[in-house]
Chain A
Amino acid sequence: MAHGAGGKASRKLVEGLFAPLLFGSSPGPLGDAAHIDINGTRVALTTDSFVVKPLTFPGGSIGELAVNGTVNDLAVSGARAEALLVTYVLEAGLPTPVLEGEVRAMARAARDAGVRVAGGDTKVVEHGKADQMYVTTTGIGHLIPGVTVDPRSVRVGDKILLSGPIGDHGITILLARGELDLEADLQSDTRSVLPLVETLIRAAGPGIRWMRDPTRGGAATSLNELARDCGLGMVLFEDQIPVRDTVRGACELLGLDPLHIANEGQFLAVVSPEYADAAINALSLAPGGGEAQVIGEVREQPAGTVLVTTRYGGSRIVDMLVGDPLPRIC
């Protein structure tokens, strides 16, 4: 199964197998969180599994990813996380200090994100069956007033915003695996994007059409999904996409595209042109938002596609990730 890296294969699995059997006649495109109605109160629900090797890496560990990932999924759906449930699947033989370290990291991340861990479950499986540990978090929250996230509301002329540099997390993990003889001063960008999302909503709420956190598969995959869901074209300006030099260097050395690399502390937003300036100003002044950029705009063509343009008039189409991002020598 090549479905791990996000992108086309994962999407096929979800849409081809899970959706028809589990989601029944649920209308609409698949989003980061589900908004359901419980006796007149709208709540947001989401769940995510975290599988990462190595467990700890510069900038964080699976504990932080598990908390921030779920808080972020809720945030980009326009909801504030209130509580999390956590499930651990632990490999027999996992050293207690390692487990304790992760639980502490999770507690810290939950405190920082302002969310409470309300309960959970643990299972232990045979040695060799869980890559040390797998973590699943389920988050529940209430909708933030003043914003509706819906890809079908995207219009030609809307601006595409990115909260900060892409590629940090994925490259950090790749280097942390130690298989490459590469060293870099880089760390995962894992953080809760809720504060920035709330800032964005305050400044530009009525103009927000869509948001997403570009995790596995990178920004290219998220934007391709949007392009497909709204049938319009996402045109990006290469020079305006923020990428740290070290990430760029590592990608060049390995033959990878930063647009396909996972992020754990950034989000994309599509905002109507009237609100775009207010949006980007508010973000860049907010803590952690200093590198936010307008990276592109929505156009009619090329429909359903993501196009990256260069300053000198060249352009190329960027597809969803097909399988894992593979490095190349040629």
Chain B
Amino acid sequence: MCLAIPGKIVEISCDNTDSALVDVVGVRRRIDLGLLQDDKPIAGDWVLIHVGFAMSKISEQDAFEQMNTLRALGEIDGAMQEVEGYGLDNMN
């Protein structure tokens, strides 16, 4: 359900590795990493945040692949034209 937003981990707390500071478009929030015990994120990783907890790591690779699939929609006869790095290089 439910409102969950992507945020980038800015720093992991030294005295509590379950606590991290995330950045969501310039807004910083302290969140709980307790549900990602099995696959701990590090600073720079993107996570999905719901009610103050990180639920999942966001895979940039999968996101890129998805964008490529979307760009390929509408290609004639399924022929995949080579996708230039359309705007992706310009995005932070």
Contacts and interface: CB of A to CB of B under 8 A. Distances in A.
Given A181-B52, A329-B50, A253 B29 contact: yes
A-side interface size class: 10 to 19
A248 interface: yes
A329 B28 CA distance: 18
Interface string A190-223: 0000000000000000000000000000000000
B24 A183 contact: no
Nearest to A255: B3
Interface residues of B, number: 15
A253 B27 contact: yes
A94 interface: no
Main secondary structure of the interface of A (DSSP, over half): mixed
B1 interface: yes
B2 to A, nearest CB: 5
Interface string A150-192: 0000000000000000000000000000001111110000000
Contacts of A249: 24-27
Interface in B36-53: 49-52
The residue among A249, A250, A328 with the most chain B CB atoms within 10 A of its own CB is A249
A252 B5 contact: yes
A8 to B, nearest CB: 24
Given A252-B24, A329-B2, A330-B2, A183 B29 contact: yes
A248 B25 contact: yes
A181 B26 contact: no
A87 interface: no
B50 A184 contact: no
Contact of B29 (A181, A185, A255, A328): A181
Interface of B: 1-3, 5, 24-30, 49-52
Interface of A: 180-185, 245-246, 248-250, 252-253, 255, 328-330
